[in-house]
Each structure stands twice: as structure tokens, then as C-alpha cells.
Structure 1
Amino acid sequence: MTDLDELAVRTAAMRWLDERTAFGERTVTQPEVAAFPFLGESISLLMRQQGICKPRQLGAALALRTTWTPPGGKAPYADFEGPDGMFRYAYRGTDPDSFDNVALRRAGELGLPLIWFVAIATGVYHVQYPVYVVADEPDHLRVALAVDEAQRWISPAAGAADEDRRRYVQRLNKLRLHQPVFRAQVLGAYERACAICKLRHTELLDAAHILSDVHPRGTPVVPNGMALCSIHHRAFDANVIGIRPDLVVEVRRDILAEIDGPMLRHGLQEMAGVTVTRPKKMIWWPDPSRLDERYEQFRATG
């Protein structure tokens, strides 16, 4: 195919994914997106055993995959955020000239957009697109990725980058990748239901941080999160409600004494004493030390 065809395929793949992910709101599994139709052909998109996907019809890689690593586990590949804030994606194996790695570099040389499947659980993926290969680092067996159009024009640094530039890059990473992945992981762990009121409308659910993302321990990991509906997320952030370390909900005393409409009565006041639902897997349960610190913040509000 020509370079123009390469771009047309990628555009079609991303529009196809828009429908299946509800523009990034839903996760996908490998069977759902293994291939997509284009001009009468089936184009591979997510291969079961390969991190770099180069369909036979294309001359450059189309998609990347990061596998799921449970908390405390060792990732098979060293994908990470570098000292300059840019993401690094590891080559497959140790041969820079292997078929997959050449295809990955080719996408960067042509400035072609790629699709990144980021695993949030075994076989479940958040889909991030478009991403771009913006630098090749063969001595380290990896490439640098841009996850935002603005990052494409920032030169990756071999060592620590200028502090202002690094913070700018990290803000984009947080907005474009960390927050969507965190939301997908938390909602998946809580089976897409509010941990307080059990509401199951995904479009009305948030991934709430226990400790805020500006806190030193406010990292975007499931034990620092809970799936909450929009009203309970805002109430939690505003210390209208608090969650004790034993997972029992408390409502601020002035709110309990207030007289208002049905939302206050049923949505907030009647939540006092409710026990928060935990994920089925213990590795995803709310971190007790974070809950304790956050509960003390609630208590301090009176």
C-alpha cells in the first residue's frame, strides 16, 4: 500500500474504534477488536501474542499493546515514563532490526498515528489514539511515544529535561492517558457501579481519588480509587460525605440537619451508615491507610 493508503487505513481504524469504545469511554477485549473491515479486507488490529501489530497489508506498525501486570508483579517489557516525562515503549526482544521493531520505527519515520491498547486487567484494554513514535532509542531498545498532538513537537531528552517542559509533558500524560486508564481500571474493578448507591449507568460514574492526585500518595492506582456516581464523587471531594476506614459512609452533621428536596434526602442523608461496596479482588480494595488519612480530612471539616 502507499503512504496515503496507510493513513486512510489508520483513519478508518480509529473511526471504527470510536464506535466500539464510545469515544474512549468503554474498554474492549481482544476478540472484539482483533481485526476491522477496510475495503473488503480484514485488517489485524490487536494480535493475541504480539505487542506490535503490523498487518500484512501495511508497511508500518498500526497498533501497540501493553500487557496487564498485577500490582506487585513484574512487567515483561520495560515500558515507562522517562525522566523527560515522555513515554517509552520497549522493542520486542533485543534485536533492533527484527521485523516488528523495523515496522514500529517505520511508523515514526512516516509520522503515522498508531493505536495503543493499554491493558487494565487480563484481556481488557483501554484504547488510546492517536499516539506517535517521536524518537528511536536503539541503544536502549525502545522508542519514545507522544500521547498528545502537542507532544509531537517536543524533542525527547536523553537525560532529565528542563523542569518546566517535563511538567508540561506530564500534565498532558495525566490528561490523555493516566486519567482515562485510571477511570477504566477503577470502574472495571467496581463492576461499573457506584460503591455507595449502586448506580450502574457508566456515563454517570467517575473514578474518585481517595487521596487527590496532587497528594504525594495520590497515585492513579485502583487502591487509591473508588467508583462513585457524579453526585457522590462531588460530595466526597467537598467533604459533604466521608468514608471511614471500615468503609462506612458518614454525612456531615449540618447536611443531616438540613431540610430540602428529595435529592438531599435520598441521595445524601440516607447514605449515612451505608457500607461501601468493595471490589471482588483483594488487590483492588481501598487502601486502609489512604482511607484513614482522607477520613481525618473529613472529620476536620466538622
Structure 2
Amino acid sequence: MAGRLWTVERDRRLREEAIEWLKFRTDDGAIPLTRAEIRDFSFEGEPFALQATQQGIRKPRQLEAALSIQTVYRTPGQSRPYEDTVGSDGLIRYMWRGDDPNLPENRALKSAMENDLPLIWFIGVGMDPALFQAVCPVYLIDEEPELKRFVIVPHDEEAFFPREAGASTVIQETVKRFLTRETKIRLHQPVFRSTVLRAYEDRCAVCNLAHRVLLDAAHIVPDSHELGIASVVNGMALCKIHHAAFDSSILGIRPDMVVQIRPDLLEEIDGPMLEYGLKERHGQKLMMLPTKKIERPRADLLEIAYERFLHAKPA
């Protein structure tokens, strides 16, 4: 591989094959991977590293531009070496490495931006072993040098919103709202799901069901709420029945982690799902919680959700 010329076409083919391989290995982004699993990728019959081992930016020596970026996992309350932020437009920013725009890694990111090259974003969702959500493709669409960061979108924004566009228009503002929504769907949700399911060991908090395909990562407080953070402490692994019951206020969870079922449902007579799946859980402690206390649901968020449950009216 080293002896062949690295043309622009070969670079793009590498990226396309890597992204397709990751989508296949992760069931289109649903399953996180370990570093060892990510190292299984090969290009043109030879192993090719997709992920940086030390720094967050992977720029292979053969390429002019960065191939991947990385955000390490930190348990709730811990800060990262480079903290990704969200701008006023709702789009995510990825920080430079250090302060010098001429560092090779920063130049490699700028090259990816200027050439509209797709990147892979490995986002840490757990430790022991380290697990990463592969989010791809993502594109860098702008640089904010005064803040030492790039702007990220999870698809090629150029198809919707060319950089050379002039003053803001209604159409452009609509596109910005679309991109913000898509960013949350394409970036936040898979990472939130993997982080929560990993913390709950792929089991429903209410009934201990252990089939991942039947599990959701439920928000305790919706992300539209001012306290609705996209963090494991605002999530619970719930099977689809208990997730729907929780969201519709049929099922509530007290701040002391005890399940409550809406009173009118307790009086109702129906089939085994109501009897054993819901009514039998009334007054029982959650069956699964994260081993690490710092990853367990925050009491203030449970309190907000439980107040909503108490004041909900039967449909």
C-alpha cells in the first residue's frame, strides 16, 4: 500500500470504504466498538488504522487531511481535555489541538474542511474496556479561529447551505433549524443510547429484560426541558413497553427508585401484560441500576419526572 500514489480518488475511496465498514460493524451506528474491534479494518488488503491512539485527531502520514476525530469518555462530573461545545446555532464545535493553528493536526482538520472530506467521529461512551460510538460521516463546515474550534455537521451541509451564500434568508434559517435537529438525531441520540445501555448492562431498569433490540435509552427529563441534559444521569435503559408506559405517565419512578403505576390502571382487569408487566411492578424497586453510583439517575431529574407522573390525567 505504501508504494502506491495516494491520489484524491484513493483518499476518498478509503473514506467511503471505512465509513461503510463501520456502518456494517455497528449496525448503522447502533452498537459501540472497542479499540481492538476498530483496528480490524483493512484497506486494499492491508490493516489501516482509523483511530488515533493518543491525540484526538487521526491524520495518516499518507493523507493530506485528517481521517477521524475522537472525543474521550468521561464519567458525569469529569471534564475532558478538550471540551466540545454547542454554538448559538445549535451545531457542535470540535476544539483545535492546543493553541497553535499551524500544528499538523489542526492543519489536517482545516484541509478536511477546505476539501469537503468526510470524517469519522469516535465518541467515547464507556470505559473498561473503552467503547466508542462511530458517528460518520461528519463534515467540518467552518472554522472559528478566535475560539480555536471547527463547526461540525453530520452530513454534507453544502448540499443545503453553500458557504458563499450571502445575508441570512428565511430559507437559510429553515436549513439551520433542520441541521440543528439533524445534529441531535444523528449525533446525540446514538451516543446517548450506547452510554445508557452500557451503564445498565443492556438490561431494563424496571423488569431486567436483557434483549438489547427490545431496549431503549429513555430520557428521564425530555431534552427540550432546561435540565434535559444528554447524559447518562438523565437516562434509564427501559424495554419498549416500560419506556412507553413511562413517557405516557402510566408508570412513574419515585426519586428513591421505586416504581409506581397509575392508580386507575391498578384497578383495571386485563391480560397478563398489564398484570405481570405493569401492576406487579408497583411498589417495587428498580431491578437494574448502574454499578457506578455517579452514573445513576439524578434525584432532581427523577423528582421532576415523578411530579409530571403525579399530575398526569388518564387519557
Scaled by the length of structure 2, the TM-score of the pair is 0.88
In the alignment, structure 1 residue 250 sits paired with structure 2 residue 255: no
- CA displacement 1:195-232 (0-9 Å, x = unmatched): 01111111111111111222221221111111100000
- 2:143 counterpart letter in structure 1: D
Opposite residue 74 of structure 2, the aligned amino acid is T
Tell me the residue number matched to 1:141.
148
Q: Which residue of 1 aligns with 2:292?
A: 281
SS of residue matched to 1:140: coil
Q: Superposition pairs for residues 66-77 of structure 1, below 5 Å?
A: 66-77=71-82
- Report the Cα offset of residue 299 of structure 1: 1.7
Contact 1:30 1:47 in 2 (8 A): no
Residue 64 of structure 1: CA displacement?
0.5
Are 1:199 and 2:204 an aligned pair?
no
Range with greater deviation from structure 2 (190-199 or 50-59): 50-59
Partner of 2:109: 104
The 3 A distance-change label for structure 1 pair 163 and 73 is farther
Residues 70-89 of structure 1: matches in 2 within 5 Å?
70-89=75-94
In structure 1, the gaps of 5 or more residues are: none
Range 233-242 or range 249-258, more displaced: 249-258
**In the alignment, structure 1 residue 294 sits paired with structure 2 residue 299:** no
Q: Percent identity?
A: 45
Equivalent-residue separation in structure 2 for 1:78 and 1:247 (angstroms): 32
Distance 1:188 1:50 in 2: 25
133, 150, 174: which is aligned to 1:126?
Answer: 133
Structure-1 residue corresponding to 2:95? 90
* Amino acid paired to 1:285: R
How does 1:1-302 map onto structure 2 within 5 Å? 1-34=6-39, 36-122=41-127, 123-150=130-157, 153-154=160-161, 167-276=177-286, 277-301=288-312
Q: d(CA) in 2 for partners of 1:146 and 1:240?
A: 37
User: How many angstroms apart in 2 are the aligned matches of 1:49 and 1:59?
Assistant: 19
Instruction: Find the aligned partners of 1:55 and 1:108 in 2 and give their Cα distance.
Output: 16
Unaligned runs of 5+ in 2: 1-5
User: Would the aligned equivalents of 1:131 and 1:145 in 2 still touch at CA under 8 Å?
Assistant: yes
Q: Cα deviation per residue 1:265-298 (whole Å; 9 max; x = unaligned)?
A: 2211222122112211111111112212211221
Pairwise CA distance, 1:194: 0.3
TM-score normalized by structure 1? 0.91
Task: Count residues with an aligned counterpart.
Answer: 299
Q: Please give the root-mean-square deviation of Cα atoms over the aligned residues, in Å.
A: 2.2
Q: Which amino acid aligns with 1:41?
A: E
8 Å CA contact 2:141, 2:157 repeated in 1: no
SS of residue matched to 2:41: strand
CA deviations over 1:48-103 (Å, ceiling 9, x no partner)? 20211122333321111011233222321142112222221112222222222222
8 Å CA contact 1:45, 1:63 repeated in 2: yes
